[in-house]
A and B are shown apart, each in its own frame.
Chain A
Amino acid sequence: MSALLGALLAIALPWLVGGVWVYWLLGRYARYNTFVVLGHGYLLGVFLATAALRAWGLTGLALNFWGPASALALLGFAGAALAWRRPVLQPPAPARAALPGWQLGLAALLLLLLAWRYLTIGEELLLRPLYPWDAWMNWSPKAIVWFHYREFTPFVSPNDWLLLPPEDRAYTLGAFNAWKYPVGVPLLELWGMLAVGSSDSSLVFLPWVAVALALAAILYGHLRLAGAALPLAVLGVYLLFSQPFVNVHSALAGYADLWVAATFAAAVFALTEWEERRSLVYAGLALAYAAFCAQLKIPGIILAGMIIALLVAIRLDWRRLLLLALPALALLVVVLTWGIHLQIPGLGPLTLSAQQVTIPAVGDFRIEFHPVQDALLRANFLMINWHLLWYVTAAALVLSLLRPRLLRATLGSWLALVLCVAFLLFVYFFTGRYRFALDYSQVNRAFLYAAPLAVFFVCRLLGRLENTPAKPADRAG
């Protein structure tokens, strides 16, 4: 198999299998469209591919592509058989009306700009050897070692590595804590390496473009499900994928952040269906993404917790939400006054206090205020990372607060966005991570998790805004 064919298969197979299952699952409720199936299909498929690799590793057989790929294909056949035996419900066809020329023209223009962008990015990715720092320092080394030995060779802390007996084979990494980072991205790379047959090929990183396409499909599909017209849904996709910082994480592939952002966003978008339609399938999809998110990066563990919290919170009406807020407030008072210290069996200590936060598998954080507002303002409002996104989002948030009707109509996406941004602000204002805001090494990557949510919220808000009635004669176009 040629390298290119292998790379394409490594993308297409999970996409197909995930797509089949998403199609079958969402088809139970007839609340989906092609783009939702395509987008969720890829993300879910990648999650399944990494799970298949892990399962193969447990068998003790040498790691290879065709074994886990066959298992994945079987899973796909099973999904297809289910769909065959119990046909899915087709969503009602949208009422077709000829779109005015300006809508088609605008959508075409924006899609053309995006096509130009991602062709540029695709060529950049394929031509350049692995480039960005954390990619070769933190994420690729595990995959390269596993690819070489065809087994999941353990990675240990530098101190443990020094104490290893000579007969034990274990590796450590050059960044002190990288050995314990979640394995989602190395598994994803390993999947590509096994398919391509090389650990040194840019083709391995093609999924960093595929995930952008998948997220674009998810965003478009969910905006359409939420009632957005075609130009607004295309505008949403353009707003997100024209952003330089989103682009750069595909062009300079190899970081985990784009995957975390895509997975978290996909979960939140799915939750809005759970919010509005009580669709259990979408809730289940969000939970699957929570699990995937936690395997991608340490902040993904917190975001996974956020997905679960949102899953509960956004189904509640105001009264119940307030009722839930009361014990939460009481808990906050307890935390700030006395603190909470627990020993969680198998995980370790959990500490929540005004001075210290310790979360198992996440880390220890001393709580102190750090004035990082200048760096945050510069990163989000002056540098070219985000175009005008945060200006527009700030205006939309203010508008939603001024008009409760808008807030109610967009509550789920509003809550997710506010929660995510509040979490990021807390991290950089109150923990030792502040230094990564001051040197800009991390802060933009963190706001990448909120960017799709911001676009989704802004577009949903736009969709809810009343239009000034045009004169009847104009409507015919």
Chain B
Amino acid sequence: MFNGGGSQGSTAPTEPTAIGNLAFARAALVALLALAISAAVLLSLYPRLLERSGAALDTTPGAAVDARPGTAATPWAINGADLIVRMGGAEPGAGDSLHVTRLEEGVDSRAILTRRVALDARDYPYLEFDIRGRNLASYYYFIWRTADDPDTVHHIALPFSGENSSVRLLAQDPTWRGSVIEVGLDIYGELRDVSPQIRRLTLLPAANASLWQSIWAEWRAQRTWTQRSAHQLPGTPTETVLSPVLGAAAWAGLALLLALLLARLVRASLIASALLCLLLPWIALDLLWQVKLSNQLEETRLLFSGKSRAEKHLADIDSELYSYAQHLHSEVLPPPGAKVHLLNEEGRRGYRRLKLQYYLLPHNIFNFGKHPIRESLREGDYLIVLDEVPGLRFDRGRGELRWGDQALPVVRVDRRAPGSVYRYRGETP
């Protein structure tokens, strides 16, 4: 089927003596049948496997209900309008929903909405959340407190899958235990001029359908690029029920075995059937990835499309550092050539210090340590102190940078958040 025969003997690849369309159609039917059976088997077996492996940990939905015979938990629905705004701003919306209108500024911009409840976590291993108007720049967490430890707020991320309604498995979180006294949402990030609508939070009892819905939501979970994206692509939230790759491999593997049997029975092409059993799950995984890439591109367009280079930097994640570097380039530092020492509390691999160094190129920068290295300084060298460095301070009266029992004669040439710039005056003889 696939061997054109070009590498043995002749120097020209010849077109293959391929199987015909009918033979391929037969092989495709075998593969589709095998994939369908494989999917059916896995869909029914996996929850039982999970139940068995997880029962000992008391984290599985099956265990949760089985542990309380006689308890017939029914879904516990909380409408958006039932939530009380603890932080940020919100307004009632249609159908008992709630529109989050404002995030409260602080360390992060955030809104917190909660509701008192009285329930046993074991009865509700799943949460269905119906939230409209989310975007990739905002992060949603389901939060709760328990009677055993009311001062601690526990949380689990509610990934953005692009759909309005999703299901999250709570039982996998080891802190979703005991008597729950309050639940709610913690939202931070950016709303982007849209008031997301909280329609409903529904705590659900154990059910296979909910398990698969939660797995599907995890597989669809969307995150924007991070600085780790060029190093690893987990593809799902950190605590995932089932890896999509493992799921696809199991699906393909079982289908492959079935196809080998079926193909012999109906005299279909073994290789074509087997290959399709691998290729179709591969394409399914690939489409999941393409959706993520396309969603990421939408986000990238939103941030950068139609903007100049400078505007793009100002729209990027570290616009503050870029603005600061531009200020230093144009108003503070001399043309590139002078030696610059960048001081910062972060260690060697600190993002802020390294990114500022990049933005300051082609200035000649030594970017290590948090205190000046006195013996290497020459008169006229510049020192940039990025952010506050504990213990390092400027003595304006003496014109000195001081740390510990040391002092360095400098002129402060600029002071503007997030840093200060000094010029070394040299040691007076």
Q: Which residues of B contact A140 (CB under 8 A)?
A: 358
Assembled-state Cα–Cα distance A430/B253 (Å) = 32
Tell me the residues in window 1-48 of chain B with beta carbons closer than 8 Å to chain A beta carbons: 1-8, 10-26, 28
Nearest CB of chain B from residue A355's CB, rounded to whole Å = 28
Nearest CB of chain A from residue B92's CB, rounded to whole Å = 39
Do residues A384 and B24 form an inter-chain contact, with CB atoms below 8 A? no
* A387 at interface, CB cutoff 8 A: yes
* B293 at interface, CB cutoff 8 A: yes
Q: Which residues of A contact B11 (CB under 8 A)?
A: 30-31, 91-92
Give 1 or 0 for each of A376-407: 1 = CB within 8 Å of chain B CB. 00010111111110011000000000000000
* A330 at interface, CB cutoff 8 A: no
Do residues B19 and A95 form an inter-chain contact, with CB atoms below 8 A? no
Nearest CB of chain A from residue B180's CB, rounded to whole Å = 31
Do residues A227 and B231 form an inter-chain contact, with CB atoms below 8 A? no
CB-contact partner of A383 in B245, B348, B361, under 8 A: B245
Q: Which residues of A contact B278 (CB under 8 A)?
A: 388, 392
Assembled-state Cα–Cα distance A40/B348 (Å) = 40
Closest residue on chain B to residue A276 by CB atoms: B7
* B53 at interface, CB cutoff 8 A: no
Assembled-state Cα–Cα distance A116/B8 (Å) = 36
Do residues B286 and A387 form an inter-chain contact, with CB atoms below 8 A? yes
Do residues B233 and A229 form an inter-chain contact, with CB atoms below 8 A? no
Do residues B336 and A148 form an inter-chain contact, with CB atoms below 8 A? yes
Q: Which residues of B contact A228 (CB under 8 A)?
A: 2-4, 6, 13
Do residues A384 and B233 form an inter-chain contact, with CB atoms below 8 A? yes
Assembled-state Cα–Cα distance A384/B303 (Å) = 26
Tell me the residues in window 456-477 of chain A with beta carbons closer than 8 Å to chain B beta carbons: 462-465, 467-468, 470-471, 473-477
CB-contact partner of B249 in A129, A226, A391, under 8 A: A391
Q: Pick the interface stretch among A245-253, A263-271, A357-365.
A: A245-253
Nearest CB of chain B from residue A244's CB, rounded to whole Å = 5
Do residues A120 and B290 form an inter-chain contact, with CB atoms below 8 A? yes
Q: Which residues of A contact B313 (CB under 8 A)?
A: 129
Tell me the residues in window 356-385 of chain B with beta carbons closer than 8 Å to chain A beta carbons: 357-358, 361-362, 364-368, 373, 376, 378
Closest residue on chain A to residue B268 by CB atoms: A468
Q: Which residues of A contact B14 (CB under 8 A)?
A: 94-95, 97
Nearest CB of chain A from residue B110's CB, rounded to whole Å = 26
Chain B interface size range: 35 or more
Assembled-state Cα–Cα distance A133/B350 (Å) = 11
* B328 at interface, CB cutoff 8 A: no
CB-contact partner of A176 in B252, B253, B348, under 8 A: B348
Do residues A172 and B366 form an inter-chain contact, with CB atoms below 8 A? yes
Given contacts A144-B362, A388-B282, A477-B20, contact A248 B4 (CB under 8 A): no
Do residues A232 and B304 form an inter-chain contact, with CB atoms below 8 A? no
CB-contact partner of A129 in B10, B283, B301, B316, under 8 A: B316
Nearest CB of chain B from residue A112's CB, rounded to whole Å = 11
* B262 at interface, CB cutoff 8 A: no
DSSP majority for the A interface? helix
* A338 at interface, CB cutoff 8 A: no
Tell me the residues in window 91-138 of chain A with beta carbons closer than 8 Å to chain B beta carbons: 91-97, 99-103, 113, 116-117, 120-121, 123-124, 127-129, 131-137
Assembled-state Cα–Cα distance A391/B304 (Å) = 38
Closest residue on chain A to residue B377 by CB atoms: A162
* A297 at interface, CB cutoff 8 A: no
Tell me the residues in window 312-328 of chain A with beta carbons closer than 8 Å to chain B beta carbons: none
* A163 at interface, CB cutoff 8 A: yes
* B309 at interface, CB cutoff 8 A: yes
Chain A interface size range: 35 or more
Residue among B228, B233, B285, B288 having the largest count of chain A Cβ atoms under 10 Å: B233
Nearest CB of chain B from residue A314's CB, rounded to whole Å = 14
* B244 at interface, CB cutoff 8 A: yes
CB-contact partner of B357 in A174, A387, A440, A476, under 8 A: A174
Q: Pick the interface stretch among A59-67, A69-77, A341-349, A441-449.
A: A441-449
Assembled-state Cα–Cα distance A230/B8 (Å) = 17
CB-contact partner of B22 in A91, A392, A474, under 8 A: A474
* B152 at interface, CB cutoff 8 A: no
Do residues A92 and B10 form an inter-chain contact, with CB atoms below 8 A? yes
CB-contact partner of A467 in B230, B270, B357, under 8 A: B270
Residue among A166, A169, A245, A383 having the largest count of chain B Cβ atoms under 10 Å: A383
Do residues B12 and A92 form an inter-chain contact, with CB atoms below 8 A? yes
Do residues A468 and B271 form an inter-chain contact, with CB atoms below 8 A? yes
* B192 at interface, CB cutoff 8 A: no
Do residues B13 and A225 form an inter-chain contact, with CB atoms below 8 A? yes
Do residues A166 and B378 form an inter-chain contact, with CB atoms below 8 A? yes
Do residues B301 and A144 form an inter-chain contact, with CB atoms below 8 A? no
Q: Which residues of B contact A132 (CB under 8 A)?
A: 227, 229-230
Q: Which residues of B contact A169 (CB under 8 A)?
A: 337, 364
* B267 at interface, CB cutoff 8 A: yes
Do residues A442 and B293 form an inter-chain contact, with CB atoms below 8 A? no
Closest residue on chain A to residue B230 by CB atoms: A132
Q: Which residues of B contact A247 (CB under 8 A)?
A: 289, 293
* B355 at interface, CB cutoff 8 A: yes
* A141 at interface, CB cutoff 8 A: yes
Given contacts A120-B290, A477-B21, contact A137 B301 (CB under 8 A): no
CB-contact partner of B25 in A102, A174, A199, A244, under 8 A: A102
Assembled-state Cα–Cα distance A104/B90 (Å) = 56
Assembled-state Cα–Cα distance A242/B367 (Å) = 39
Closest residue on chain B to residue A459 by CB atoms: B2
Give 1 or 0 for each of B224-255: 1 = CB within 8 Å of chain A CB. 01011111111110000001111011001100
CB-contact partner of A124 in B279, B297, B309, B357, under 8 A: B297
Do residues B7 and A226 form an inter-chain contact, with CB atoms below 8 A? yes
Do residues A465 and B271 form an inter-chain contact, with CB atoms below 8 A? yes
Do residues A381 and B246 form an inter-chain contact, with CB atoms below 8 A? yes
Do residues A174 and B354 form an inter-chain contact, with CB atoms below 8 A? yes
CB-contact partner of A227 in B6, B233, B339, under 8 A: B6
Do residues A477 and B230 form an inter-chain contact, with CB atoms below 8 A? no
Do residues A388 and B1 form an inter-chain contact, with CB atoms below 8 A? no
Q: Which residues of B contact A141 (CB under 8 A)?
A: 357-358, 361
CB-contact partner of A175 in B229, B301, B349, under 8 A: B349
Do residues A97 and B15 form an inter-chain contact, with CB atoms below 8 A? yes
Do residues A227 and B355 form an inter-chain contact, with CB atoms below 8 A? no
* B393 at interface, CB cutoff 8 A: no
Q: Which residues of A contact B281 (CB under 8 A)?
A: 388
**Can you report 19 A-B residue pairs in the complex whose CB atoms are below 8 A from each other?**
A100-B21, A102-B25, A124-B296, A137-B354, A141-B358, A169-B364, A199-B361, A225-B13, A232-B3, A252-B229, A252-B230, A255-B230, A382-B246, A384-B233, A388-B248, A392-B278, A444-B233, A465-B271, A468-B268
Q: Which 8 A-B pairs have the closest CB atoms?
A: A384-B235, A477-B20, A92-B12, A227-B6, A229-B16, A474-B23, A232-B2, A162-B376
* 10 further interface pairs, Cβ-Cβ under 8 Å (given A382-B245, A388-B285): A97-B17, A116-B290, A132-B229, A161-B366, A226-B7, A388-B252, A441-B232, A444-B233, A467-B269, A468-B269
Q: Which residues of A contact B (CB under 8 A)?
A: 30-31, 33, 91-97, 99-103, 113, 116-117, 120-121, 123-124, 127-129, 131-137, 140-141, 144-145, 147-149, 158, 161-163, 166, 169, 171-176, 198-201, 224-232, 235, 239, 242, 244-245, 247-249, 251-252, 255, 276, 379, 381-388, 391-392, 440-442, 444-445, 462-465, 467-468, 470-471, 473-477
